[in-house]
Structure 1
Amino acid sequence: MKISNLTVRFGSFTAVNDVSLEVAGGRATGLVGESGSGKSTLARAAAGLTPYRGTISGVPRGRVQMVFQDPSSSLNPRMSIGDAVAEGVRVPRAERAREIARLLELVSLPASCAGRYPRELSGGQRQRVAIARALAARPEVLIADEITSALDVSVQGSVLNLLRDLRAELGLTMLFISHNLAVVRYVCDAVAVMRHGHLLEHGPVDEVTTAPQHAYTRALLDAVPRLTHS
């Protein structure tokens, strides 16, 4: 997916200002910055959820799926887990039950979850359902927008490990949004740094996190004591 000269405005406020970024096929690109940096707005534009100026090429319309920060608000509480996942399933009706079970297994949930409701699951389980629902449409690009920030610390690592496993198993192309460079380094191959709607620097994640070129990137690194850098 290639994003070229993307600009998003809300009235007189420019949330994303002339950003160009390529998300390489089969790779995970992290987009990092503080709250209000424009990273989630860019993600929503890439998913076709927010009007924008510029171009997004390399992926057909409708083949980008997004997993949101809070699974409690992204899943319909009146819809069973099976029905929620089935919304994106692209197989004949007779094969849907088997496909739903396969997708739940893919995110390490038992097929029996299909008959349950979001309120009956933990936050981590609900986020796994949201991932399964996104994968049901067999997207060419998966966008993950701060998908662990609303979860308990005890389950954040298991969801990140799930993403790494899915990348390896499915060859996913992913745009991963986070405010935490340590998490981005764990999940992604490349990273782009945003601030106030501008793209400050981007490149291979090891290069950016070990030899940052911008003072803001160095400040983000300094905010994560466990992430060593030179």
Structure 2
Amino acid sequence: MLINELTVRFGHFTAVDDVTLGVAEGSVTGLVGESGSGKSTLARAVAGLVPYRGSVSGVEAGRIQMVFQDPYSSLNPRMSIGDAIAEGVRGPRRHRDDEVARLLELVSLPAAYATRYPKELSGGQRQRVAIARALAAQPDVLIADEITSALDVSVQGAVLNLIRDLRAELGLTMLFISHNLAVVRYVCDAVAVMRAGRLVEAGPVDDVIGRPEDAYTRSLLDAVPTLART
């Protein structure tokens, strides 16, 4: 997927300013920056949720799915887990129950959870359901927008391990958004750094974290001492 000269404006405010970024097929590219840097707006533009100027190529329209930060707000509380996942399932309706069961198993949840509702699940379980629902549409690109930041620390690692496992098993192409460089290094192959709507640095994750060229990237690393020393 190639994001080319993408710009998002809200009135006179430029949220994303002329960003060009490639996401290699089968890879996980991290997008990092402080709150307000424009990373989530860029992700929403790529997913077709906000209007933009520029282009997104290398992926068909409708083949990009997004997993949001807060799994509870992204799930309909009146819809069962099975129905929520089945909404995105392609193919004959008679196969949907089997596919829902397969997707739940894929994110390490029992098939019996299909009859439950979001309020009956923990935050980590709801985020797994959100991931399963996104995967139901068989996306070419999966966008994960701060998917662990609303979760308890005790379950963040389990969700990150799930992402790594899914990437290995399915060969997913992902744009992974986070403010945490330690998380990005654990999950991603490449990383792009945004500041004030612009891309300031991008490259293989070990290069950007190990030998940052931009002062802003170095300031982000300084906020994570264990990374800054590596």
Q: TM-score range by the shorter chain?
A: over 0.9
Counterpart of 2:56 in 1: which secondary structure?
strand
2:192 partner amino acid: A
User: By how many angstroms is 1:20 displaced?
Assistant: 0.1
> Could you tell me which residue of structure 2 aligns to residue 198 of structure 1?
198
User: By how many angstroms is 1:226 displaced?
Assistant: 2.2
User: By how many angstroms is 1:91 displaced?
Assistant: 2.1
> Could you tell me which residue of structure 2 aligns to residue 169 of structure 1?
169
CA–CA separation in structure 1 for the residues paired with 2:146 and 2:95: 33
Contact 1:211 1:229 in 2 (8 A): no
> Could you tell me which residue of structure 1 aligns to residue 106 of structure 2?
106
CA–CA separation in structure 2 for the residues paired with 1:115 and 1:90: 20
**TM-score, normalization: structure 2?**
0.99
User: By how many angstroms is 1:227 displaced?
Assistant: 1.6
CA–CA separation in structure 1 for the residues paired with 2:229 and 2:127: 31
1:211 partner amino acid: R
Counterpart of 1:150 in 2: which secondary structure?
coil
Q: How does 1:172-191 map to 2 (within 5 A)?
A: 172-191=172-191
| Cα-to-partner distance string for 1:40-96 (whole Å, 9 max, x where unaligned) | 000000000010000100000000000000001000000000000001000211111
| Cα-to-partner distance string for 1:133-161 (whole Å, 9 max, x where unaligned) | 00000000000000000000000000000
Q: Which runs of 4+ in 1 moved over 2 A?
A: none
CA–CA separation in structure 2 for the residues paired with 1:96 and 1:55: 34
> Could you tell me which residue of structure 2 aligns to residue 73 of structure 1?
73
> Could you tell me which residue of structure 2 aligns to residue 151 of structure 1?
151
2:62 partner amino acid: G
Counterpart of 1:185 in 2: which secondary structure?
helix
Measured on the aligned residues, the alpha-carbon RMSD in Å equals: 0.7
User: By how many angstroms is 1:105 displaced?
Assistant: 0.2
> Could you tell me which residue of structure 1 aligns to residue 119 of structure 2?
119
CA–CA separation in structure 2 for the residues paired with 1:170 and 1:81: 22
Q: How does 1:49-60 map to 2 (within 5 A)?
A: 49-60=49-60
Counterpart of 2:221 in 1: which secondary structure?
helix
CA–CA separation in structure 2 for the residues paired with 1:132 and 1:171: 15
> Could you tell me which residue of structure 2 aligns to residue 214 of structure 1?
214
Q: Does 1:12 align with 2:12?
A: yes
1:7 partner amino acid: T
**TM-score, normalization: structure 1?**
0.99
CA–CA separation in structure 2 for the residues paired with 1:210 and 1:126: 35
